[in-house]
């Protein structure tokens, strides 16, 4: 199917959907949410005048390790410290050799000769009086240069997606790229600009939802019903997150951003940023679950058009319940893996479980997990019911299958 035929098929599917009253209701609801999302994007558009946070992202230049040594750290202990000689490979000081103290051997990076690294110019951005004369070069080790393997992994992922999922995979990759761009170029600057983080996160999540769902699945009855279900579930996640961060006394001040907010004059709304992370984090798993439920209802309706809304809900909910238990298990394990270092430290120090979960560094991911899981649990009956009532009342030929084709009975 060429692009022109594909576009005509999508337009024909939309006309088929709007030919019935439930279809027009479905399109109307999605249109209202889309308009509100666009208005939110425009109203909350960042001005770029947000606080500048020192140390939040350092510009680095390339360097190459030419020598690595170990020597005593000094003092009463016999601890060994690792130092390195690194050649600056770009910028005005290209070719300069600098000595860098990496720190105790047990916790410093294990660098090798000829390894590529990134160096931070400590003079960058520092104002200098004209009479002071030229500054002496000053560089600090930033990190190992890991950009090439990260990009290579991203390319491998894209190739696998294109090969396995073909056209649908390419659209999904494009949607993912656009969604990440929205987060980086709009959501983060809007929060720094002083807008309500929870409002920004909700609008941003809705925008990401529209981009990924409609770009990947096109304008079909299933995608429109999924957008409705995901939107309601996101609002539920935002409300639950707001309530429980207050109840648990989580204000974000115990996290990594606490030092940055001092440098920005206290302008970073830490609790709001914590809530925004919960909403964005819940979006991915909500999209997967809701789309699966809507697709299940559509498949049941195509297979048996005589099955009413109650029957569709009952049969699809059985599938959703099984999917739900596996998804919650995955979500909890993902957060457990992220907090594993903290759990290990707590266990090594003999900290009890009740004291461990009271630590904000563990309480925050726990609340995030439970908020996301609660929104996920709510999304299954909610999206199944919406699909059974809206999609289940559409004619079967208005429902496209996984390849974008409609079935006629």
DSSP for 199-229, written as a single string:
HHHHHHHHHHHHHHHHHHH-S-HHHHHHHHH
Distance CA 354, CA 349 (A): 14
Distance CA 237, CA 379 (A): 10
For residue 185, is pLDDT > 60? yes
For residue 159, is pLDDT > 80? yes
**In which band, very low, low, confident or very high, does the pLDDT at 405 lie, cut at 50, 70 and 90?**
very low
**In which band, very low, low, confident or very high, does the pLDDT at 39 lie, cut at 50, 70 and 90?**
very high
**In which band, very low, low, confident or very high, does the pLDDT at 14 lie, cut at 50, 70 and 90?**
low
Percentage of the chain lying above the pLDDT 70 cut: 80
In tens, the pLDDT along 271-309 reads 778 888 888 888 878 888 888 888 888 888 888 888 888
Distance CA 87, CA 270 (A): 39
For residue 98, is pLDDT > 80? yes
Distance CA 20, CA 301 (A): 16
More confident residue, 191 or 44: 44
pLDDT given at position 408: 39
Q: Where are the beta strands (DSSP E) in 112-203?
A: 116-121, 139-144
For residue 350, is pLDDT > 70? yes
Mean predicted confidence (pLDDT) in 163-181: 77
**In which band, very low, low, confident or very high, does the pLDDT at 255 lie, cut at 50, 70 and 90?**
low
pLDDT given at position 400: 56
More confident residue, 262 or 247: 247
Secondary structure class of 66 (helix, strand, coil): strand
For residue 129, is pLDDT > 90? no
For residue 315, is pLDDT > 80? yes
pTM, entire model: 0.70
Question: Parallel, antiparallel, or unpaired: how do β-strands 116-121 and 139-144 relate?
Answer: antiparallel
pLDDT given at position 364: 81
**In which band, very low, low, confident or very high, does the pLDDT at 71 lie, cut at 50, 70 and 90?**
confident
Angle (nearest 5°) at CA 71 between 66 and 74: 140
In tens, the pLDDT along 319-340 reads 888 888 788 877 778 777 777 7
CA 234 remoteness from chain centre: 14
Q: Where are the beta strands (DSSP E) in 255-369?
A: none
For residue 53, is pLDDT > 70? no
Secondary structure class of 362 (helix, strand, coil): helix
For residue 219, is pLDDT > 60? yes
For residue 52, is pLDDT > 60? no
Mean pLDDT of the residues in the chain: 79
**In which band, very low, low, confident or very high, does the pLDDT at 224 lie, cut at 50, 70 and 90?**
confident
């Amino acid at each position: 199917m060429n692009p022109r035929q594909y576009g005509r098929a999508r337009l024909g599917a939309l006309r088929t959907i709007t030919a019935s009253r439930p279809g027009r209701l479905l399109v109307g609801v999605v249109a209202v949410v889309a308009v509100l999302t666009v208005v939110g994007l425009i109203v909350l558009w960042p001005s770029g005048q947000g606080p500048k946070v020192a140390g939040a992202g350092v510009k680095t230049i390339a360097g190459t390790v030419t020598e690595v040594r170990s020597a005593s750290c000094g003092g009463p202990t016999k601890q060994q410290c690792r130092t390195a000689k690194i050649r600056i490979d770009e910028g005005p000081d290209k070719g300069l050799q600098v000595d860098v103290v990496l720190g105790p051997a047990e916790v410093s990076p294990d660098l090798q000769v000829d390894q590529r690294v990134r160096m931070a110019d400590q003079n960058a951005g520092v104002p200098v009086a004209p009479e002071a004369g030229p500054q002496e070069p000053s560089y600090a080790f930033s990190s190992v240069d890991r950009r090439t393997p990260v990009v290579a992994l991203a390319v491998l992922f894209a190739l696998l997606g294109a090969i396995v999922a073909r056209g649908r995979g390419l659209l999904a990759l494009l949607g993912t790229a656009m969604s990440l761009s929205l987060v980086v170029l709009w959501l983060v600057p809007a929060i720094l600009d002083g807008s309500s983080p929870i409002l920004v996160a909700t609008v941003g999540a809705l925008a990401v939802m529209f981009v990924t769902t409609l770009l990947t699945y096109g304008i079909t009855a299933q995608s429109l019903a999924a957008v409705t279900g995901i939107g309601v579930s996101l609002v539920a996640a935002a409300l639950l997150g707001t309530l429980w961060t207050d109840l648990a006394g989580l204000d974000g001040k115990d996290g990594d951003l606490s030092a940055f907010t001092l440098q920005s004059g206290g302008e970073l709304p830490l609790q709001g940023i914590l809530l925004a992370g919960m909403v964005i984090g819940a979006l991915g798993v909500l999209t997967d679950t809701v789309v699966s439920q809507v697709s299940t209802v559509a498949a049941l309706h195509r297979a048996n058009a005589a099955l009413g809304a109650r029957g569709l809900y009952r049969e699809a909910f059985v599938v959703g319940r099984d999917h739900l238990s596996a998804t919650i298990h995955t979500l909890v394990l993902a957060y457990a893996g992220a907090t594993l270092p903290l759990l290990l430290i707590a266990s090594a120090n003999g900290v009890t479980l009740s004291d461990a979960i009271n630590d904000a560094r563990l309480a925050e991911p726990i609340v995030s997990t439970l908020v996301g899981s609660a929104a996920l649990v709510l999304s299954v009956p909610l999206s199944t019911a919406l699909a059974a009532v809206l999609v289940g009342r559409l004619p079967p030929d208005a429902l496209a299958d996984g390849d974008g084709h409609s079935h006629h009975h």
